[in-house]
Structure 1
Amino acid sequence: MLMIWLAVLGAVWGSFVSALCSRWPNGESIATGRSRCDNCGRQIAGYDLIPVLSFLILRGQCRYCGHQIGLLPLTTELVSIAVALIPVAFLPQDQAVGLALFAWLLLPLVLLDWFHLWLPDRLVLLLTVFGFVLGPLLAPEIGMIDRIIGLLIGFLSLQAIRYFYKKYRNIDGMGAGDPKLFGALGVWLGWQALPIALLTASCVGLVLILLTYRSKKPEDAAFPLGSYLGMGAYIAAIVT
């Protein structure tokens, strides 16, 4: 029953995150206005917005003009389901639910940084606040003091790297949102798990860079460190 609920909620959340990540960077509100086809402008009916099922039934096309919607909405919904179900195989039930919630809050940050190199302060703050509230569900052995220390160490460690890089190279080598995100991860995981989270993020980033940036010169490429940190933290939460 738990897996069914996680799958359903994951699909719904993934649909919301997909809409959020497509509208917010364009200055559009997610709270107002109905979804419309980008090609013909027709309003999409509620029965065509059922996560996963509507995409499969319509074969990824607009009902009215046949325009291809693209795979990103479906992929986001499936990823949202997957990150909620995977922990069930490795963690006790309460911790699995905690990790699902953690992953769902991370998902929009990972996507926005991946596609737009943007980590909105409001989402990072939301992740931080929920870390104090829901973090004990994921890691009950981590005390509040350790979470506060995790917040400080996570933020200050990357902020120091960012500061000295800019000081000596006179260019920004890291976005302002990355230290804030790492601090938020410290609230969820505690300071003890930050080294393994950073190491895992580095490994994930290296693999993805080799796969996706092969055609770019290093000096021309901008890498979504926040996305790597989110993925690394998720993996670290399972293995630690």
Structure 2
Amino acid sequence: MTIVIAVYITLLGLILGSFYNVVALRVPAGESLSHPPSHCTGCGTQLKARDLVPILSWLASRGKCRHCGARVSMLYPLGELATGGLFLWSYLEFGLTLRGVTAVILSSLAVIVTVADLKYMLIPNKVLLFFAPLLLVLTLLNAEGPVWIYLLGAAVGGGIILPFAWFGGMGMGDLKLFALLGLVTGFPVVLLAFFAACLLGTLVGGTLQLTGTLKRGQPVPFGPWLAVGALLAYGYGSQIIGGYLSLIH
């Protein structure tokens, strides 16, 4: 039964991942989510069902439009694959629980923010406003301690990003995002999330610079790393902090 549920949740993630791509690519551009229907951005041809199968359609067409041959961004299959994988992780790590539901919602936010930030260097307020009440309610229901721990997590999350947003290097979207993520992870786990985000961003950014993929001084979106750091902290923060404290005592 576990395998059946895992497969179903993964497939659900792949399907929703396709929709999340639409949200991430249309909302920042001020476009409708429903009109026009899914179409090739190169020739404008409306896509049929065979063109919209998560991952498989992209692979079958070799990453190109069947009609005009225009390149289809890898963000589409990667967004779908990431959502499916994160949904599966949420189920395997937390099961069919409220924490599992929170992980799914957090994963959904992470995918949308990542795709939008990679494409536009922008984290849409509309997306954050949609997820904020959902995550607030789930956080209150899942609270494993006093509510002030989570409120402090939000304050610290926003406060950490404030100097970077004020003096440049990050945007207000990053601040709002990490305040929301800090609400979910709580304090002091939010600090671990920020450390993980910085470490991953530095490692990947440095590697891309060394390989010439990223030019020195080229702006890099930090929202994806904040999201990944928060997911790691949400899933394993208590264990990591507990393990660290046991080493120093």
Q: TM-score, normalised by structure 2?
A: 0.81
Contact persistence 1:198–1:233 (CA under 8 A):
yes
**What is the rounded CA distance, in whole Å, between the counterparts of 1:217 and 1:54 in structure 2?**
32
| C-alpha deviation, 1:190, in angstroms | 1.2
**What is the rounded CA distance, in whole Å, between the counterparts of 2:132 and 2:42 in structure 1?**
38
Matching residue of 2:21: 18
Matching residue of 1:71: 74
Matching residue of 2:92: 89
**What is the rounded CA distance, in whole Å, between the counterparts of 2:64 and 2:164 in structure 1?**
46
Q: Does 1:98 align with 2:102?
A: yes
Matching residue of 1:2: 5
Q: Does 1:229 align with 2:211?
A: no
**What is the rounded CA distance, in whole Å, between the counterparts of 1:198 and 1:10 in structure 2?**
26
Matching residue of 1:169: none
**What is the rounded CA distance, in whole Å, between the counterparts of 1:115 and 1:9 in structure 2?**
24
The equivalent position to 1:205 in structure 2, one of 201, 206, 210, is 201
| C-alpha deviation, 1:110, in angstroms | 1.7
Contact persistence 1:52–1:77 (CA under 8 A):
yes
Amino acid at match of 2:118: W
User: Counterpart of 2:89 in 1: which secondary structure?
Assistant: helix
The equivalent position to 2:51 in structure 1, one of 48, 60, 64, is 48
Write out per-residue CA displacement over residues 171-216 of structure 1, whole angstroms, 9 at most, x where no aligned residue. x232111221111011111122111101111111111111223335
Relative to structure 1, is the Cα distance of residues 7 and 217 closer, same or farther in structure 2, using a 3 angstrom cutoff? closer
Amino acid at match of 2:100: A
Matching residue of 2:245: none
Aligned residues: 231
**What is the rounded CA distance, in whole Å, between the counterparts of 1:123 and 1:142 in structure 2?**
28
**What is the rounded CA distance, in whole Å, between the counterparts of 1:31 and 1:62 in structure 2?**
20
Contact persistence 2:25–2:115 (CA under 8 A):
no
| C-alpha deviation, 1:152, in angstroms | 1.9
Relative to structure 1, is the Cα distance of residues 162 and 44 closer, same or farther in structure 2, using a 3 angstrom cutoff? closer
**What is the rounded CA distance, in whole Å, between the counterparts of 2:199 and 2:145 in structure 1?**
25
**What is the rounded CA distance, in whole Å, between the counterparts of 2:133 and 2:151 in structure 1?**
11
Relative to structure 1, is the Cα distance of residues 69 and 157 closer, same or farther in structure 2, using a 3 angstrom cutoff? closer
Q: TM-score, normalised by structure 1?
A: 0.84
- Give the stretch that moved more between structures: 67-76 or 108-117: 67-76
Structure 2: which 5+ runs fail to align? 238-249
| C-alpha deviation, 1:229, in angstroms | 0.6
Amino acid at match of 1:49: L
Write out per-residue CA displacement over residues 114-159 of structure 1, whole angstroms, 9 at most, x where no aligned residue. 232211122222232222122356x541443322222222212321
Structure 1: which 5+ runs fail to align? 167-171
Matching residue of 2:130: 126
- Give the stretch that moved more between structures: 179-188 or 58-67: 58-67
User: Counterpart of 1:80 in 2: which secondary structure?
Assistant: helix
| C-alpha deviation, 1:58, in angstroms | 4.1
